[in-house]
Amino acid sequence: MRLYSILSASMVISYFVTCNAATSSDQTKLSRMEPSLLVHSLGAALNVDAVDRRFLRERKESMEERGYHLTLKGEVKALAKKIIADFNTADDVYKKWNENGHSLNKIANLLKVSEKKKYAPVYNGYLAYLNRINS
């Protein structure tokens, strides 16, 4: 029984010695690869600056699938309620909406002016603001 223990121990030791001796310095450099080279998509070769750019999902402009529309709707409604509470802040909010490129129809759709009459003064105020700055 003691012979089997010595043989198995010597086999394990020889296995570890050969495994550690077999690794070369080239194999250990694999862990030093830059991660930016590993994250490019397959279409990266088609772009001019493919090495510098990373194609992550969050860099895309369209965020609708992540709930961008819902956060925009909530933000517009919160600002509309702020206008209803204090009409002195209306011009600042209208200016922000105009700078962000929100059209009159987009604001009307987000606030559902046709269904909710409480937002009609906000809609009419934004219409007057757009007419004032465009004339």
Distance (Å, rounded) from C-alpha 53 to C-alpha 56? 9
Which residue's structure tokens are 């922000």?
Answer: 96
Structural domain count of the chain = 1
**Residue 82: domain span:** 64-134
- Asked, for residue 57, whether it belongs to a domain, the answer is no
User: 56 CB contacts (<8 Å, ≥6 apart)?
Assistant: 39
- Asked, for residue 36, whether it belongs to a domain, the answer is no
- pLDDT-derived band at 31 (thresholds 50, 70, 90) equals low
- Asked, for residue 122, whether it belongs to a domain, the answer is yes
Q: Which of 99, 97, 116 is nearest to 107 (CA)?
A: 97
CATH number of the domain enclosing 114: 1.10.10.2460
- Asked, for residue 59, whether it belongs to a domain, the answer is no
- Asked, for residue 86, whether it belongs to a domain, the answer is yes
- Asked, for residue 75, whether it belongs to a domain, the answer is yes
pLDDT digits (tens, 9 = 90+) for 76-133: 888 888 888 888 888 888 898 899 888 888 888 888 888 888 888 988 998 899 899 8
| Geometric angle at alpha carbon 64, from 63 and 65, rounded to 5° | 95
